[in-house]
Amino acid sequence: MKLPTKFLFLILPTAILLGCQGTGTKSGESAAIEDKSSAASGATTSAAGDTGAFRGDALDDPAGALSKRIVYFAIDSSEVAQEDRATVSAHARYLSGNATAAVTLEGHADERGSREYNLALGERRGNAVRQLLLAEGAATKQIQVVSYGEEKPVATGHDETSWQQNRRVEISYTSRK
Amino acid sequence: MLNKQFLLVYALALWLPLGGAHAAPLTIEITEGVPGALPIAVVPFGVEGQGAPPEDIGAIVAADLKRSGRFAPLAEQDLLARPHEGREVNFRDWRVLGVEGLAVGKVRATGAGQYTVQFQLFNVFQATQLAGYTIPATSAELRRTAHRISDIIYEKLTGEPGAFNTRIAYVTAAGKAPAQTYSLQVADADGHNPQPILNSRQPLLSPAWSPDDTRLAYVSFENKRAQIYIQEIATGKRELIASYPGLNSAPAWSPDGTRLALTLSKDGNPEIYVLSLAAKTLQRLTSNLAIDTEPVWSPDGSALVFTSDRGGRPQLYRMSVNGGDASRITFAGDYNARGVFSPDGKQLAMVHGTGGQYRIALMELKTGALRVLSDRTLDESPSFAPNGAMIIYATNENNRGTLAAVSVDGRVHNRLVLQEGDVREAVWSPFSRRIMLQPDPKP
């Protein structure tokens, strides 16, 4: 279940080096990624940030609770599973302790059923994580919820193995302390 | 011919922010024919004057008629004669072949890129002319002229209007994440002449034709969230119509084209609203904690059907356009979504999920009787041809998104294949108002 995140970690910088115009949307791990897409063009530039420097921030601890940035869901469900509560709590604590930190919660669904319903379902999943973060001390202004529905799968197979990886909320830091 | 098509695509693609548009045509294959299709002969059209026409009108007409499943055009090598006008027809030749309808015609070059297409349709057994037209056309209009001829033949012989001279809009996706590109395309209903009207590096979905066939509303993620645009197809001019906080999605035109039903989550969770396009006023129609989305107007404009999971799972509900209580209308299966009315308002097509299989189903509104029309497992986005005869939908084959079409009686199946990448979210245009023809009884 954690594999997709790690893969993205590897793939994204490579893509940028190769000169691909990365969308930057799977930027879960890099705090310095900024979306400078212009409204007119729909094109996106990405800044990769100084990923080489260790800042000593808890967000950068590869073994810490904050290194988990994806919450998974059961089919047609937006309930955060008990096993993911600790992850969400850790992010809530970080947000409440770092007032300038902010996250985007990107909600996703698997491909089954209609695209528009899945768009709504992705938002509901994002909101479920948002409610938990707020309940544990994060502030409203620190959280954005965006749903991509089934439009951005991380696994492209057409079976449960792929679908369970796609029913997710990605916690993406848009700024840190 | 290919070159001309290619040039046309680029000449007409007026709004290409990212360039590099791929416009490979969809190829339509008939995967399942119909026993009992009406035998008909479409004789290759004659050519007169200087300069051969760039399109084979007779072949286009025959392919149209065959694709509908209602006709079985005679193979070209089986034709006993090749008349191009009525006085050359010997009806006995055609009775021997068992065809009931006979279409003949010719294309005359009248100037640079200018043609006159003449065509006649006969009832072979009665030896009578059923239709005759003389149609001026430029090179670029020849395919549409052929589709219009197909429409006339279809209507004369079945009693129902044809939908060949129409278009489809669809979304293509190419490349692998994170370098994926999306394109909103408009093509003729036979897959030819695809024109990208929008290219984006972010997802596009839910295209919806305006009732006058001139604009498309759609959802674009180009600003990193779902927002609704309306774009004029001929000019590429567009307007951001809904960009409230949260979701802006599922646009649906009112039958008179003055209002847009849509889904907004600005007030907390997805609800149905109606936006008046001239006054830009917004009216909220639903109010509950469940997901309400995918509104669609009844053809008479009085009611909306939408998807809601207020009962636990997604099902279709109906409510007045003035708001008020909604009543559940689907009960079979555990998942029913993306409802769409047949043009006569008597049926509703939908994504019907049962036992983990998602297929296109058709429900009689009067009786509630449901028929499953498609046979794969990830079918979605049904859309009726404007004459109500076929439903186009998105499916999945060999790990690629493809389009398919099925007749409403479930007997005719076509497959629309793109050379590469995924194709999805196809919507059939309303009847075209762009080529009007005057009958010419004695061409």
**What are the pLDDT digits (tens) for B131-153?**
999 999 999 999 999 999 999 99
Which amino acid is it at B235?
T
- pLDDT-based confidence at A51, cuts 50/70/90? low
Q: Pick the residue with more confidence: A48 or B88?
A: B88
CA distance A80 to A125: 8
Domain final residue pick, B113, B130, B158: B158
Average pLDDT over residues B164-192: 92
Q: Residues B116, B227: one domain?
A: no
* pLDDT at residue B21 in the model: 43
What's the CATH code of the domain at B278?
2.120.10.30
B250–A116 CB contact, under 8 Å: yes
The answer to the question of residue B351 being in a domain is: yes
Domain final residue pick, B106, B129, B158: B158
Nearest CA in chain B to A160: B356
Q: Residues B134, B219: one domain?
A: no
The answer to the question of residue B230 being in a domain is: yes
* pLDDT at residue A90 in the model: 96
* pLDDT at residue A59 in the model: 85
**What are the pLDDT digits (tens) for B411-436?**
899 988 777 789 999 999 999 765 55
- For residue B318, the tally of other CB atoms under 10 A from its CB is 18
Q: Residues B229, B304: one domain?
A: yes
* pLDDT at residue B24 in the model: 72
**What are the pLDDT digits (tens) for B359-407?**
999 999 999 999 999 999 999 999 999 999 999 999 998 888 999 999 9
What's the CATH code of the domain at B98?
3.40.50.10070
| Domain A1-6+62-177: which CATH number of 3.40.640.10, 3.10.129.10, 3.40.50.200, 3.30.1330.60 | 3.30.1330.60
In whole numbers, what is the pLDDT of chain B averaged over residues? 90
* pLDDT at residue B3 in the model: 39
A chain contacts of residue B200, beta-carbon cutoff 8 Å: 42
The answer to the question of residue B1 being in a domain is: no
The dihedral through the CA atoms of B421, B168, B365, B326 has a sign that is positive
Angle formed at CA B307 by CA A81 and CA A167, multiple of 5 degrees: 25
- For residue B342, the tally of other CB atoms under 10 A from its CB is 20
- pLDDT-based confidence at A49, cuts 50/70/90? low
Q: Residues B276, B364: one domain?
A: yes
Contacts of B379 (CB under 8 A, 6+ apart): B351, B358, B359, B360, B393, B394, B395, B396, B404
Q: Residues B192, B118: one domain?
A: no
| A25-39, B33-47, B62-76, B295-309, range with the lowest pLDDT | A25-39
Q: Which of A25-39, B28-42, B203-217 has the highest mean pLDDT?
A: B203-217
* pLDDT at residue B203 in the model: 97
Q: Residues B197, B266: one domain?
A: yes
CA distance A111 to A149: 8
Q: Residues B395, B423: one domain?
A: yes
**What are the pLDDT digits (tens) for A128-170?**
999 999 999 999 999 999 999 999 999 989 999 999 999 999 9
Contacts of A63 (CB under 8 A, 6+ apart): none
CA distance B397 to B31: 13
| A34-38, B61-65, B264-268, B382-386, range with the lowest pLDDT | A34-38
pLDDT at B124 over 90: yes
In this structure, are residues B99 and B91 in contact, taking their beta carbons and an 8 Å threshold? Answer: no
Q: How far is A67 from chain B (nearest CA, A)?
A: 22
A15–B179 CB contact, under 8 Å: yes
How long is chain B? 443
- pLDDT-based confidence at B5, cuts 50/70/90? very low
The answer to the question of residue B297 being in a domain is: yes
Q: Residues B181, B89: one domain?
A: no
| A37-51, B137-151, B152-166, B274-288, range with the lowest pLDDT | A37-51
3-state secondary structure of A86: helix
CB pairs below 8 Å between A and B: how many?
133
Q: Pick the residue with more confidence: B13 or B215?
A: B215
**What are the pLDDT digits (tens) for A89-138?**
999 999 999 999 999 999 999 999 999 999 999 999 999 999 999 999 99
Residue ranges covered by each domain of chain A: 1-6+62-177
Average pLDDT over residues B235-250: 97
User: Nearest Cβ partner of B206 from A15, A116, A156?
Assistant: A116
pLDDT at B354 over 60: yes
B chain contacts of residue A147, beta-carbon cutoff 8 Å: 225-226, 247
Domain carrying residue B106: 33-158
pLDDT at B9 over 80: no
The answer to the question of residue B330 being in a domain is: yes
- For residue A2, the tally of other CB atoms under 10 A from its CB is 11
Q: Residues B300, B181: one domain?
A: yes
* pLDDT at residue A10 in the model: 38
Q: Residues B414, B385: one domain?
A: yes
- pLDDT-based confidence at A55, cuts 50/70/90? low
The upper half-sphere exposure of residue B134, i.e. CA atoms within 13 Å in the direction of its Cβ, equals 9
The answer to the question of residue B328 being in a domain is: yes
CA distance B394 to B422: 10
A15–B358 CB contact, under 8 Å: no
CA distance B422 to B403: 9
Mutation choice for A interface testing from B183, B224, B313, B351 by most A CBs within 10 A: B224
pLDDT at B26 over 50: yes
Work out how many domains chain B is built from and give that number: 2
pLDDT at B16 over 70: no
* pLDDT at residue A27 in the model: 36
The answer to the question of residue B245 being in a domain is: yes
Average pLDDT over residues A50-55: 53
Q: Residues B151, B172: one domain?
A: no
Average pLDDT over residues A47-76: 78
The answer to the question of residue B21 being in a domain is: no
Those residues of chain A whose CB sits closer than 8 Å to some CB in chain B are 11-12, 15, 20-26, 35, 37, 39-44, 76, 111-117, 119-121, 123-124, 127, 145-149, 151-152, 154, 156-158
A chain contacts of residue B245, beta-carbon cutoff 8 Å: none
In this structure, are residues B336 and B351 in contact, taking their beta carbons and an 8 Å threshold? Answer: yes
* pLDDT at residue B436 in the model: 52
- pLDDT-based confidence at B2, cuts 50/70/90? very low
Q: Residues B232, B116: one domain?
A: no
For residue B343, give Cα distances in angstroms to B255, B274, B347, B366, B387. 10, 21, 8, 15, 7
B247–A20 CB contact, under 8 Å: no
